[in-house]
Amino acid sequence: MITPMKKYTFLIQSSQYEHFIAQLQEAGVVDVTTKAQGSLADAQLEEALSKAEDIRHLLKQGCPDQMLKEEADIRARIEAIRQEQRRVAPWGDFDALTIEKLKNEGHEIYFYTCPSKQFDPSWGVIVSEVSSLIYFISLQPIENELVTAFPMTKSAVALDADLSALNGLLTAAIARKEVWLQSHRESLEEESQRLENTINVRQVTLSADDEAEGAVKLLEGFCPVENCEALEQQLSKAACYYESEEPQEGDKTPVKLYNNWFTKLFEPLTGMYGWPSYKEFDPTPILAPFYLLFFALCIGDMGYGIAIALVGYLIYKGKLKIDMFDGLGGIIMALGVGCVIVGYLMGGFFGINLYTASWFPEWAKVPMFSHWIGDGSGKVLGYDVMMVLSIVIGVFHICLAMTIKAISYTMRFGFRQMASTWGWLILIVGGIVTGILMTTSLISARAAGILMIVIGAISGLGIYLFNTPGRNPLINIGGGLWDTYQMATGILGDVLSYIRLYALGLAGAMLGAAFNDLGLMVLGDAPGIGSWIGFVVIVVFGHVLNLLMACLGAFVHPLRLTFVEYFKNSGYEGLGKLYKPFKK
């Protein structure tokens, strides 16, 4: 939900402006309308921005650039030595000093390689054979196109010593980074906060418009209605004139969301697409339960849900540190619990179909989809119950989106502008409801026919005649026909997109069952210790891999259904900005 806002316009004498800014910051409830960054040409602001960027860079990488360069140089040298070790490995260990001493005494030793099949024993002594190559030494130079000279540097022992020394230098470099960060982090964070405050104050200070030849300054901002009384009490003590009014459609009003604990967990998903503008409908209360349902259907397994909930709990409690999931323990836990509930209703537990399992109690199978939907065979009209359920959910989700669009747009722009939207809503939702009433024998076929004629007539007026008020009716009819083509093709494609919920759940269940079967094949009829170890390795590895792939699909595809199918049909734009009060 979106918190109601009030728009404030402040008029301040230029001589009192900086004092007023300090008072406004002290109040800490007004989101001041600032100018675009490019229009705030100011040396003090640019200096603060540059310093703040440098500090953010230091905190992100954890040390100065010179320390990073030193560490990178050591790592590059280590990698070079490892490559050289791999290159000289076929020669085994040799004494480079002895070879150099023999060379000084006039006894040159030559190192060569050649293909195994072309080697001539008269050329020298074989040291090793690796990957169809002969490595050999000779006391005389060999000139043959099949033979390649092998330049030698250091022996394997010498390279090991160099590598050990460099690893010690690397350990020391990493330790110096950690010590530097520990000794400087607090001061850097304090300086970062000070600079951010300076930047914030300077941006607000420069955002006022000069009026009356610079004698007064004009500033605008927005305040939540719940804080207006306290703000106005403080403004009564300030040397300024102010007015408050309701935000208008064209105002860049910030949004402050207020949701219950469950819905708030899903606000980061809304933010991934874009925050609602002030006059829009906050999609999070609808996004939250549907995303949870979509995710759970894609996983479709109670055992996987338990694992996801456990990981979420550990992240939430700080027992498990994963940077990309920082602060998301609550939503992961909620998704896991949803998977447990939906997975049970679907009858899946680590790839086992509980509904067909003879050892699973019959009374516990009663709540499962396959039991109470269809004839108990898991089929509805010859189709898998989960596929039908996915389509039904898609139809409901899109109809809900269209209803929200009709209501919210009517509140923003008036009914006359939304006649076409209401026409399509009446036609689609009315047609579906009429079909359900007829198939369930609540109304007769004749009554259904009359009802559809009425629905078609009412919706046709909105779609074809009144879709754009004030325009030529013939042009409106043409626009309605084009709109009909787009709706007919778009809605069908949108509904079919929801089959992915069934497909992903089915794929995960089949893959989990396949790993179970592989494990049982290894276990055999008379399992021993080795068989049990193989069984455990295959089952654990297989289900971990399947869970990771399932989670990836369950994260992406419900987002797509929300961001594309739902947001498109609900008219959600997501072009708003969050409320950020000007405060210390």
Q: Is the dihedral of CA 421, 423, 428, 433 positive or negative?
A: positive
pLDDT for res 40:
61
Residue matched to tokens 């297989």: 542
The model's confidence at residue 37, banded by pLDDT at 50, 70 and 90, is: low
**Together in a domain, 481 and 533:** no
133-138 β-sheet, strand order: 125-130, 133-138, 110-115, 148-149
Residues 136-152, mean pLDDT to the nearest whole number: 87
Q: In this structure, is residue 400 part of a structural domain? A: no
Residue 39 pLDDT > 60: no
Q: Examine residue 174 and state whether it is found in any structural domain, yes or no.
A: no
pLDDT at 246 over 60: yes
The residue whose two tokens read 């009209």 is 381
State which of 334-343, 377-386, 389-398, 402-411 shows the largest mean pLDDT: 334-343
| The token pair that represents 503 in the structure block | 């497909």
On whether both 305 and 376 belong to a single domain, the answer is yes
Q: Could you tell me if 520 and 469 lie in one domain?
A: no
| Three-state DSSP state, 187 | helix
β pairing state of 352-353 and 240-245: unpaired
| Structural tokens at position 98 | 């002895």
pLDDT tens digits, 110-132: 899 999 988 988 898 888 998 88
Which amino acid, residue 54? D
**Based on the domain organization, do 485 and 452 belong to the same domain?**
yes
Q: Per-residue pLDDT tens for 335-346?
A: 999 999 999 998
Domain finish residue from 445, 478, 496: 496
273 plus 247 within the same structural domain? no
| Domain membership flag for residue 458 | yes
> Strand 148-149 vs strand 209-211: parallel, antiparallel, or unpaired?
unpaired
Among 23-27, 191-195, 385-389, 414-418, the minimum mean pLDDT is found in 414-418
Q: Is residue 20 part of a domain?
A: yes
Among 159, 181, 206, identify where a domain stops. 159
Q: Residue 465 corresponds to which amino acid?
A: L
Token pair belonging to 338: 């949803």
Segments forming the whole domain that contains residue 532: 261-388+498-570
Asked if residue 233 is part of any domain, the answer here is: yes
**What is the 8-class DSSP label of residue 281?**
P
Chain-centre distance for alpha carbon 1: 22
483 and 445 in contact (C-beta within 8 Å)? no
Are 448 and 490 members of one domain?
Answer: yes
- Rounded to two decimals, the pTM is 0.76
265 and 320 belong to one structural domain = yes
Q: Is 488 helix (H, G, I), strand (E, B) or coil?
A: helix
Residues 375 and 279 in one domain: yes
Give one word for 154, left, alpha or beta, with left for phi > 0 and alpha for psi -120 to 50: beta
Using DSSP's 3-state secondary structure scheme, residue 13 falls into strand
Whether 3 and 82 share a structural domain: no
Backbone angles phi, psi at 542, to 5 degrees: -65, -45
Work out whether the CA dihedral 94, 99, 102, 107 comes out positive or negative: positive
Q: What is the pLDDT of residues 503-527, one digit of tens each?
A: 998 899 899 999 999 988 888 877 8
Question: Do 273 and 375 share a structural domain?
Answer: yes
Shared-domain flag, residues 282 and 360: yes
Lowest mean pLDDT among 174-188, 368-382, 465-479, 549-563: 368-382
Is 80 within a domain? yes
Mean pLDDT, rounded, for 203-226: 82
Domain count, the chain: 4
Residue 120 lies in a domain: yes
Average pLDDT, the chain: 85
Distance between CA atoms of residues 535 and 541, nearest Å: 10
Q: Are 91 and 127 in contact (CB under 8 A)?
A: yes
- What tokens does 25 get? 């910051």
Q: Both tokens of residue 404?
A: 């929200």
Taking residues 377-398, report their average pLDDT.
Answer: 81
> What letter would DSSP give residue 576?
B
The three-point CA angle 338-344-349 to 5° equals: 105
Task: Give the residue, 440 or 2, on which the prediction is more confident.
Answer: 2
Same domain, 360 and 269: yes
Instruction: Tell which of 256, 281, 306 closes a domain.
Output: 256
**Quick one: tokens of 229?**
């009384």
User: For the residues 309-321, what does the mean pLDDT come to?
Assistant: 90
| β-pairing verdict for 209-211 and 379-380 | unpaired
Residue-level pLDDT at 41? 65
Backbone angles phi, psi at 576, to 5 degrees: -85, 175
